[in-house]
Amino acid sequence: LYRLEKSAKDLSQGNLALRIRLRKRDELQELAGLLNEAVVRIDEAMGEVRDREATAQAALRRLADHLKTHASSNPDLAKQLDVALTEGARIEDVLKRFRLSAGK
């Protein structure tokens, strides 16, 4: 029970790289396995969100750079791109709260 409680605390602090490890004959082994499966799925989804956010941010930066070089461009479009870049940075900050598995 101690290991399960410690693992739950680590998970609540955003550690998605964690896997719950209990002794072989522990009666909570099945619960730990189910929790590990859920954490793996969340970890994978968060990694995908992080990748897609980075791709979107890069595309927005390219568009913003293009607008800067074309002074006659629509100023409202430039404002909207700035908003999108700011919101993307906020998403990135949220994602940094989570520690993902290696390679993510």
**The pLDDT value given to residue 72:** 66
- Which whole-number Å values give the CA distances from 72 to 61, 68, 76, 85, in the listed order? 18, 9, 12, 21
Mean pLDDT of all residues in 13-33: 86
pLDDT above 70 for 73: no
CA dihedral 41, 30, 4, 27 (to 10 degrees): 180
Q: pLDDT per residue over 50-64, tens digit each?
A: 999 999 999 998 888
Cβ atoms of residues 29 and 20 within 8 Å: no
DSSP string, 21-56: ---TT-TTHHHHHHHHHHHHHHHHHHHHHHHHHHHH
Cβ atoms of residues 88 and 56 within 8 Å: yes
Amino acid in the structure at residue 72 = S
Residue 15 β-bridge partners: 99
